[in-house]
Amino acid sequence: MSDPKPIARINDQSKVLPRRALELVKTENKLRVLHVGKFYPPHPGGMESHLEALCRELNDSIDLKVLVASSNGHRSSQEVQEGVRVVRVSKLFSVRSAPVCPQMVREIRASKADIVHIHLPNPSAILAYLASGHRGRLVITYHSDTVRQKLLKRFFDPILRHALDRADAIIASSSNYIRSSYVLPAYMRKSRVIPFGIPIEHFQGGNALEVRRIRKLFGPRIVLSVGRLVYYKGFEHLIAAMKFVEGRLIIVGHGPLQDELQQQAKECGFSERVTFLTDVKDVRPYYHAADVFALPSIARSEAFGIVQLEAMACGKPVVNTNLNTGVPSVSIDGVSGITVPPADPEKLGRAINSLLNDPLRSAVYGRAGQLRVQRIFSLRAMARQTLSLYHEVVDSPRSIGVKNVTHNGWSI
């Protein structure tokens, strides 16, 4: 458990990107970029939300199209969703939740895009790109390693590495994830850190009446966690941590572990203090009503933890876990919250309770977190850096070199 400390700064100014990020403006001769993902909202998921946010922000500055699998399975469709052209191709079947879409090959081959930007992990998209013979530049956003699916990983690894060899640039959300990945260290030369960003203004303010209702119903000491109820989120450890917490826990999300987690809360005698909300349309009032936000993730499938940014934008201190991913580089221990070992309910619970018991310290962390999001993790900053990377890629005769990334001198 840490005391407040100043946010670290990079003193070596040679490590700062020498080229300013391009402004997001409308231009006549736009780059043509095809984004290829698994799915697209309203299909839920972190990759899907990131893809939507990035494409909406870039849409005025480039000629952009999105290619994904259809959530409806066998039906293809084309639409314009909030200004973004989205093509959803029919899915033949799925392998370990990865959609297989033969039509994707034809769509990529027919594209006149200057850049194909693929979001991984997505075996079907990589296979489709390689089979298409597309001659444009290739940019890959590497969201996370393939972690649990060992058989798929063994089959797919040679194909993945072939695609990474072909790539002109690889984007990762944190330098820590590049270093700790089982595959990315071999591609440091072409890797670039562009942290995920959120629309900060969307999370400021909020419905005051709804915030008061939540505080009245669950207060005065509210712990909030948000995410899918799946293994790597570590919610079982957060529930166990409530033994060391004087307060109420709200878990917003749904998933396959819901019944198991509810049963655990009941067996631990915490049913009255742990509430599961599975159908929340707008989570912002819950962020504003909470006293502490907890991200108890336990596996590197949690590559970044974008919900931390949402809580920080709302001025809340964060308790996260010291995973060997980007998670602890989002909310910094002793700056915007507390970082504890993963899968340690006692340390997790005591860290949460220490913040509930110290409103002043929580406020200091909350304000530092807001400042950190504004300076480093805005959606606009993410889009500007991505646009700059696109121009570097098309202007370069070969794969671009890696640059150590800082933002206004603030380390990530």
pLDDT above 70 as % of the chain: 87
For residue 149, which of 95, 229, 185 has the smallest C-alpha distance? 95
pTM recorded for the entire structure:
0.85
Tell me what pLDDT residue 327 has: 97
Flag whether pLDDT at 92 surpasses 90: no
The model's pLDDT over 142-175, given as tens digits with 9 standing for 90+, comes to 999 877 666 666 778 899 999 999 999 999 999 9
The model's pLDDT over 313-333, given as tens digits with 9 standing for 90+, comes to 999 999 999 999 999 999 999
pLDDT confidence band for 21 (50 / 70 / 90)? low
Tell me what pLDDT residue 404 has: 44
For residue 320, which of 360, 261, 365 has the smallest C-alpha distance? 365
pLDDT confidence band for 227 (50 / 70 / 90)? very high
Mean pLDDT, the chain, integer: 89
Q: How crowded is residue 264: how many other Cβ atoms within 10 Å of its Cβ?
A: 16
| Pairing relationship of beta strands 98-100 and 115-120 according to DSSP bridges | unpaired
For residue 60, which of 36, 39, 31, 19 has the smallest C-alpha distance? 31
Q: Lowest-confidence range among 80-94, 228-242, 372-386? A: 80-94
Tell me what pLDDT residue 17 has: 37
For residue 175, which of 163, 188, 186, 164 has the smallest C-alpha distance? 188
